[in-house]
Structure 1
Amino acid sequence: MIDTSAFQGKKAAYYTLGCKLNFSETSTFGKTLADMGVITAAKGEQADICLINTCSVTEVADHKCRQAIHRMVRQNPGAFVVVTGCYAQLEGETVSQIPGVDLVLGSNEKANLIQYLSDAWSQPREGHLHQHHTVKTKDIKTFQPSCSRGNRTRYFLKVQDGCNYFCTYCTIPFARGQSRNPTIASLVEQAQQAAAEGGKEIVLTGVNIGDFGRTTNEQFIDLVKALDQVEGIERFRISSLEPDLMSDELIDYCAHSRAFMPHFHVPLQSGSDEVLKLMHRRYDTQLFAHKIHLIKEKMPHAFIGVDVMVGCRGELPECFEACYEFLKGLPVTQLHVFPYSERPGTAALRIPYVVDDKEKKRRAHQLLVLSDEKTQAFYAEQIGQEADVLFEKAARGKAMHGFTENYVRVELPASQAREEYDNQIIRVKLGDFNHDKTALKAEIIG
């Protein structure tokens, strides 16, 4: 039994690290607490409850998590501090001993955050509790639904969690457990609720969303087709899709669908077949190139983002050069570049060849320069065209921003910005780059 009266009028502060899925889950935690009478603390205001949702994808992420916990404890003396997320799952006991931490919840327990929080909140406290609740990876079974927008215009709908792909460099399967998902019917219901709240755009999130259906014997393509019928939602975006799980049928469907946008994010990790084998990825460069070319054939104006990891164990200089040349020759739009980070317990540690940090930085920089060239060339192709833009709220007197269907960021000058444009899809003519080349200037048509 949860005594909600204990939470009435309390103030909470939230901090999220990592992926869109984490942000979506934090937003859901916040909404649940708000329903119990908890108020979100204003900036600079001391909170009674602090929730830190952590990431553990790299060593740097772990360090940032520790920094965030220390900062939240320091800024909110006496607050009840809860830590959850991937770092909490992998290092629960260690995190629980950080000064100021009361409650650490792993991937299985965070679905019952409110119950754990209520139970712990009711205990007499002299100092901090330092409790941690986690289970072994094989016992992570729960699925916590999440469809939230937080402070954004777009909603984030969690369609899947966990991963059965044990890539040699990755700790995510250990942090989030095996692949699992809710039913298509329940997700359609959540999308309908978002539409009822005025939502126009939903991003599908998860850990390995193309693997959707393991729990319910359904298929990702069927989820896409069902969501495409939800009235009121004018745009869907797929956050990230493994190339081996991106069927040709799905690409063709998105090209002709009502609401799925010409915008894809496809993890590559390496453009070297030798390195892909070392990583235990489930495709080669030939399959990846086929998917990219098929997207562009069906949707010539599609935006394609690609994840690339540099400096992983086994990435010889010639392997990196092969990766660079492969990407240079592909019609992709943007590269998300990640320097490899050693993770304890991963199979990659058995690979003998190690790339030093200086060389990792050099390789990352080379790919980031290539990414900028490709993104700006893609944006330049859009100049002079008309496009529909979903605008996002801006501070009074500031320029408004939004995105086209194919994910080109657009800037509307403050002189043309109107409060009523917020969360509205409006036809514009795309002009030249803005001052820092992060968006194209726009002019309202009509």
Structure 2
Amino acid sequence: MKKVAFHTLGCKLNFSETSAIGRLFTEAGFVTVTLAQRPHVFVLNTCSVTENADDKCAKMVREALKMAPEAFVIVIGCYAQLKPEAIAAIPGVDAVFGTHEKFKLLDWITDWHKKKSDESATIQVTSIKEKLTFSPAYSIGDRTRTFLKVQDGCSYACSFCTIPLARGPSRSATIAEVVEQAKSIKNVKEIVLTGVNLGDFGIIDDKRQTNFFELIQALDKVESIERFRISSIEPNLLRNEIIDFVASSKRFVPHFHIPLQSGSDKILKLMRRRYLTKLYQERVAHIKAKMPTCCIGVDVLVGFPGETEEDFLESYHFLNALPIAYIHVFPYSERAHTKAASMAEVVPQKERVKRARMLRILSEKKLSHFYRQHLGHTATVLFEYGANDGVIEGFTENYIRVQLPHQEALANRLCKVLLKAINAEGMVVPELCTSTSF
């Protein structure tokens, strides 16, 4: 019996697609194992958001072949679409599949014998300009929560981003298809909706046929799922009607992750973002007015070409003034074929690292403050599978991470807790309200 192992780099969308491809291998008679179990096939799903993600691809191939030297190595994902020849040249890579082909790789490969050193890797990558269809995907089995892909691609043209080049234009499933998938997912308490540009849901066959607001209204009626969580959504697409609906919903939880990228209007314009700081501030204010305990996460890119010290400090102070809970910080990295790569006034790497460090310290302070605001409150926690250093972890509705001494019986259960204290690891320590766990 053939064995296959998988590794995923990048976003929640990649995790959902890896899981879907894994099920195709299972249907073909493969058994999913770890690298330590020396699989016959190794599939690496790559990301290409940053230069570091590219480096991780080659490193992961080398590490995989150390553990399973005879494994047939397949590389898929965004980096595979953008730089197939570079990946094919990595020693030990046997096949590279692009955006069009990754869900059909079992149709392309019939001989799983590893290529000899003088043989070229198979490349199946067609132009992203070819018409793309939406390929559904969801993760299952490896985490308590399920990542459900409802949208793919992006039709925006942010000057720093390679994703439209790797995944093509925006396209979606139909609402009926998403609802049916959600209903079909068993033994799961929480579904996280994912996409490249999630708020742009509704483009089918190159035409807008519906929208994200109509999707969440339909999903709210799926009684078999206790929680729905919205992953990253652009501020210009997070309309007030969506915020108001989440505030009144029994299933959609009070948590938004809203990319900002910069708190300087000058830099936002250079990035070709579709909003300015005023709109972002208004969205955050509306969320907090409707849901005071809502968790708001932010993406920020530092060291963008043309970002002066004054621009950065303007961004820092803007973030400091917002009632947000955490910041995901990314130092800018030049990406080939993007507008930003040819911009002048390049920020030195040392300065990018310094600015990123400052924002990460701010994020730690924001998260600590957010957690402390909720001490003494009751919340509902979904506990994760597995033990980590003798503890079990989980997340509240509004994404507060909690820890308890490990109790296997709590895994994949929603439990009412009292948020009591913060431990040395910065996690909230809860007390179970056993009479209300379910």
Please say whether Structure 1 and Structure 2 have the same fold, judged by a TM-score greater than 0.5: yes
2:52 counterpart (35, 57, 60): 60
Letter in 2 for 1:246: L
Matches within 5 A, 1:16-415: 16-42=8-34, 44-118=36-110, 120-121=111-112, 126=116, 129-139=120-130, 141-194=132-185, 197-215=186-204, 217-395=209-387, 398-414=390-406
The aligned residue for residue 3 of structure 1 is none
SS at match of 1:108: coil
Letter in 2 for 1:444: L
SS at match of 2:86: helix
The 1:303/1:180 distance shift into structure 2, 3 A limit, reads same
Say which is worse superposed, 370-379 or 133-142, in terms of deviation: 133-142
Letter in 2 for 1:440: V
State the distance in 2 between where 1:395 and 1:332 align. 30
- The answer on whether the counterparts of 1:390 and 1:402 sit within 8 Å (CA) in structure 2 is yes
SS at match of 1:102: strand
SS at match of 2:37: coil
SS at match of 2:126: coil
State the distance in 1 between where 2:188 and 2:141 align. 12
The 1:46/1:108 distance shift into structure 2, 3 A limit, reads same
Alpha-carbon shift at residue 124 of structure 1 (Å): 9.6
**Structure 1 runs not aligned, ≥5 long:** 1-8
The aligned residue for residue 430 of structure 2 is 442
How many equivalent pairs are there?
A: 430
The 1:11/1:380 distance shift into structure 2, 3 A limit, reads same
Alpha-carbon shift at residue 76 of structure 1 (Å): 1.5
- The answer on whether the counterparts of 2:115 and 2:121 sit within 8 Å (CA) in structure 1 is no
The 1:405/1:396 distance shift into structure 2, 3 A limit, reads closer
The 1:343/1:124 distance shift into structure 2, 3 A limit, reads closer
- The answer on whether the counterparts of 1:168 and 1:346 sit within 8 Å (CA) in structure 2 is yes
The 1:95/1:407 distance shift into structure 2, 3 A limit, reads same
Percentage of matched positions with identical amino acids? 49
State the distance in 2 between where 1:365 and 1:42 align. 34
SS at match of 1:442: strand
- The answer on whether the counterparts of 2:72 and 2:114 sit within 8 Å (CA) in structure 1 is no
State the distance in 1 between where 2:388 and 2:271 align. 49
State the distance in 1 between where 2:65 and 2:295 align. 41
State the distance in 2 between where 1:169 and 1:314 align. 13
SS at match of 2:81: helix
- The answer on whether the counterparts of 2:70 and 2:114 sit within 8 Å (CA) in structure 1 is no
Alpha-carbon shift at residue 310 of structure 1 (Å): 0.3
Letter in 2 for 1:314: G
**Structure 2 runs not aligned, ≥5 long:** none
Letter in 1 for 2:429: K
Alpha-carbon shift at residue 358 of structure 1 (Å): 1.0
Alpha-carbon shift at residue 144 of structure 1 (Å): 1.7
The 1:397/1:305 distance shift into structure 2, 3 A limit, reads closer
Alpha-carbon shift at residue 88 of structure 1 (Å): 0.3
- The answer on whether the counterparts of 1:169 and 1:343 sit within 8 Å (CA) in structure 2 is yes
State the distance in 2 between where 1:396 and 1:253 align. 36
State the distance in 2 between where 1:436 and 1:132 align. 45
- The answer on whether the counterparts of 2:171 and 2:201 sit within 8 Å (CA) in structure 1 is yes
CA shift digits 1:67-106 (9 cap, x unpaired)? 1112223322222111000110000122112221111001
Say which is worse superposed, 98-107 or 337-346, in terms of deviation: 98-107
Alpha-carbon shift at residue 125 of structure 1 (Å): 5.5
State the distance in 2 between where 1:306 and 1:117 align. 41
State the distance in 2 between where 1:202 and 1:246 align. 19
Alpha-carbon shift at residue 396 of structure 1 (Å): 9.2
The 1:42/1:289 distance shift into structure 2, 3 A limit, reads same
CA shift digits 1:94-151 (9 cap, x unpaired)? 2112221111001111121221233x54x89555550111112211503221122241
So what's the TM-score if we normalise by structure 1?
0.93
Letter in 2 for 1:441: V
- The answer on whether the counterparts of 2:331 and 2:356 sit within 8 Å (CA) in structure 1 is yes
Alpha-carbon shift at residue 209 of structure 1 (Å): 0.7
Alpha-carbon shift at residue 42 of structure 1 (Å): 3.6
Alpha-carbon shift at residue 435 of structure 1 (Å): 2.0
When the two chains are superposed, the root-mean-square deviation of aligned CA atoms in Å is 1.6
State the distance in 2 between where 1:352 and 1:444 align. 56
- The answer on whether the counterparts of 1:303 and 1:406 sit within 8 Å (CA) in structure 2 is yes
Alpha-carbon shift at residue 55 of structure 1 (Å): 0.8
Alpha-carbon shift at residue 66 of structure 1 (Å): 1.1
Matched, 1:423 2:415: no
Letter in 2 for 1:269: Q
